[in-house]
């Protein structure tokens, strides 16, 4: 979300000392907007403690490889992040802390995995805010887990349920990982199965249900699958053996017991946030996010 804020707000937006604060201000505006629209009782910023876990790279070496900063031997992979954004990340962390918004990450895992785990465990409706299609797999109508998909901007996001995933791709949310595995995903460096695109992947899942059944059908010369398709799937056997583990998000991380409830801000917290906003020139973005959070407290009363 802070990448989107950075690219969505001009970097001429600066603190009095000249530091760009466009990502900070943009993110606070996103939060104000979403809090205003959905009045959450709890909220959490899920963090990429590891944006490209080695265990995923070991399974598929091309995973996110195009997004790695030119390698420094022995150093952990860094994601290509513009310097003016990198400089704002600590400010974003501080703003979230001052506002009492929990930040949750897990060593060796992506934010996707934290989201998957929290969505699986949270007792009550969940709105996952993301511009990452990978998270469509966590949508669960019975448990009221939806995705607020911000691909076209936070102001124009769509709230996706299972029906929306079906009408977009003709697959159920639970089939989305198998679908993404076969189709591939250039933004994550997932090659997919050569010769199988979105339409064929959806057709195969409609006929066979899941990837295991598709792989089994590809072994069966007497089954309904065409010879061309069978050989494409068999040619991708090595990839298909490992890719599902890369694409599926974790649902069972040990995250401790983070407190995600939003509490009214104490005076001291409010003063600290005001001083922070003043120092970094957060202006109307600070006012709006505070007003949105205060309106939640008013709802409670």
User: Which residues of this protein are in contact with Mn ion, per CB under 5 A?
Assistant: 112, 132, 134, 188
- Least separation, in Å, of the C-beta of 179 and Mn ion? 13
Q: Please give the residue whose beta carbon sits closest to Mn ion in the complex.
A: 134
Element spanning 127, H or E = strand 126-130
Distance CA 301, CA 290 (A): 17
Distance CA 182, CA 213 (A): 13
Distance CA 263, CA 266 (A): 9
Q: Do residues 190 and 243 make contact, with C-beta atoms less than 8 angstroms apart?
A: yes
CB closer to Mn ion out of 136 and 273 = 136
- Least separation, in Å, of the C-beta of 135 and Mn ion? 7
CB closer to Mn ion out of 50 and 134 = 134
CB closer to Mn ion out of 178 and 188 = 188
Phi, psi of 194 (to 5 degrees): -55, 130
The DSSP letter of residue 20 is B
- Least separation, in Å, of the C-beta of 117 and Mn ion? 14
Distance CA 18, CA 15 (A): 5
CB closer to Mn ion out of 29 and 188 = 188
- Least separation, in Å, of the C-beta of 58 and Mn ion? 17
Rg of the chain on CA atoms, in Å: 21
Q: Is 184 helix (H, G, I), strand (E, B) or coil?
A: coil
CB closer to Mn ion out of 232 and 248 = 248
- Least separation, in Å, of the C-beta of 18 and Mn ion? 34
């Amino acid at each position: 979300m802070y990448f989107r804020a950075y690219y969505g707000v001009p970097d001429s937006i600066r603190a009095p000392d000249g530091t760009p604060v466009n990502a900070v201000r943009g993110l606070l505006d996103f939060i104000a907007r979403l809090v205003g629209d959905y009045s959450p009782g709890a909220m959490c910023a899920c963090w990429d403690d590891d944006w490209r876990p080695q265990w995923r790279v070991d399974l598929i070496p091309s995973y996110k490889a195009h997004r790695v900063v030119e390698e420094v031997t022995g150093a952990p992979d860094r994601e290509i992040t513009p310097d003016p954004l990198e400089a704002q990340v600590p400010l974003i962390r501080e703003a979230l802390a001052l506002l009492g918004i929990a930040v949750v990450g897990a060593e060796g895992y992506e934010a996707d995995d934290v989201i998957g785990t929290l969505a699986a465990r949270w007792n009550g409706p969940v709105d996952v805010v993301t511009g990452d299609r990978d998270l469509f797999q966590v949508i669960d109508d019975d448990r009221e887990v939806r995705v607020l998909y911000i691909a076209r901007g936070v102001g124009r996001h769509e709230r996706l349920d299972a029906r929306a995933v079906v009408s977009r791709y003709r697959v159920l949310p639970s089939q989305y990982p198998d679908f993404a595995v076969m189709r591939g995903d250039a933004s994550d460096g997932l090659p997919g199965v050569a010769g199988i695109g979105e339409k064929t992947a959806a057709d195969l899942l409609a006929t066979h249900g899941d990837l295991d059944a598709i792989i089994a059908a590809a072994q069966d010369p007497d089954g309904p699958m065409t010879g061309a398709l069978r050989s494409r799937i068999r040619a991708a056997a090595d990839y298909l053996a490992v890719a599902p583990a890369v694409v599926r998000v974790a649902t069972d991380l040990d995250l401790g017991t983070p407190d995600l409830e939003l509490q009214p801000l104490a005076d001291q917290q409010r003063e600290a946030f005001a001083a922070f906003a003043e120092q970094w020139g957060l202006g109307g973005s600070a006012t709006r996010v505070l007003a949105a959070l205060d309106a939640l407290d008013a709802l409670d009363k």
